[in-house]
Structure 1
């Protein structure tokens, strides 16, 4: 439950200087829960009858369709391609538009949505609790790094504390806890980053022609 995760985050951060209060910790846990919900959505499974218009209403707490089993009951089960459903914004709220299923037929839909974490409800599996709290600890250490970024080294040499190193140290701790989160969930950050390419495109001159240094054969001897 929430109280257990709060205690675990406190153990991870060990804020003896009291830089982080309970409200900051709880906000960090809430943000970590959002990120965790993106990486490991809560799953809702429901048997749905295909309406005539093909628009599926999302159950409370659900945000999108993860899988659609159709027809139901085959072994091994058969699933629709993800290209056969898409989000549809209706006046009464978001829906999912599904194709390839006969009107009136039953399909087994797995929805993905946000996790709940309160004093009375906890949908985070026990094996992922450390990952969730690791991300919350990373958020808090990022905040402490920003908080101490204005600290400078003392002018009195007798003070042996290196204040200038604090932001970097806290930032490294944040990085380690974030990496711990990814490791525990088996997320390869490098593979999830989109590749990018920088291309230089020759621009036309102000008269619409090619520039002096581009093109071949403009000036021959």
Structure 2
């Protein structure tokens, strides 16, 4: 299930009949949803490292500075049961030239050490590391971002001089907001999480709406779009 499938899922969840959301808006929301999932359930990456001899191992190419965490080192490899180096016997060590893995004992040259570390999930036209059971919840979280933006934009699109129209926009805004909460809760409940407080979703959907009588807005007229 690559990016196109997530795009279709988000479209189905949002049901933007008025085509207010652009494809760029949708793809930005999907990227934020994948980033959120990567923080909540990071990808596990297993890689074999070759020792140069001594106490240090170079970090793997798959390591992401500022995100990856080293979870375990197995040495020797392929034993039954697995033989893991105690966490008390290794650490990340940063020198002026690089960050490497420091091991308490000396490793023989060409020895293989199996490392497990975390990384971000990948979702593009060719790769998809999101597990099957997480696909719909992640897409639902992306949809919640867009629905929150639609709720805000619709609430601000009413003209207070026309009471019935204003009520209609409030009702539509409340519907979008309720659907956003439902989709967000689907994600949170799937993974046993709670909502983060005071964290912006980080994507702005630029909905150039006229007011309820089809006129330009005072603060964002068409000539400036």
Give the TM-score normalised by structure 2: 0.69
CA 1:174–1:77 in 2, change beyond 3 Å: closer, same or farther? same
Is it true that 1:59 corresponds to 2:65 in the alignment? no
Partner residue, 2:16: 15
User: How far 1:98 moved relative to its partner?
Assistant: 3.5
- Aligned residue in 2 for 1:204: none
For residues 11 and 84 of structure 1, do their structure 2 counterparts lie closer, same or farther at Cα, with a shift above 3 Å needed? farther
Q: 69, 79, 103: which one pairs with 1:99?
A: 103
Report if aligned partners of 2:29, 2:142 keep a CA contact under 8 Å in 1.
Answer: yes
Relative to structure 1, is the Cα distance of residues 168 and 75 closer, same or farther in structure 2, using a 3 angstrom cutoff?
same
Q: TM-score, normalised by structure 1?
A: 0.70
Counterpart Cα distance in 1 of 2:177 and 2:86: 42
- Asked which structure has the greater RCO (Cα within 8 Å, sep 6+), the reply is 2
Equivalent of residue 180 in structure 1, options 186, 196, 204? 186
Matched positions, count: 190
Give the Cα separation in 2 of the matches to 1:82 and 1:141: 44
1:111 Cα deviation (Å)? 2.2
Larger Rg belongs to = 1
2:74 maps to what in 1?
69
- Contact 1:28–1:137 (8 Å) recurs in 2: yes
The CA distance in 2 between the partners of 1:82 and 1:169, in whole Å, is: 50
* Counterpart-to-counterpart distance in 1, 2:155 and 2:90: 47
Structure-2 separation of matches of 1:174 and 1:84: 47
In structure 1, stretches of 5+ residues that fail to align are 194-221
For 1:122-141, list aligned pairs within 5 A: 122-141=128-147
CA distance in 2, matches of 1:91, 1:171: 50
Residues 153, 162 of structure 1: 8 Å contact kept: no
Mean alpha-carbon deviation: is it higher for 38-47 or for 151-160? Answer: 151-160
Moved more, 55-64 or 3-12: 55-64
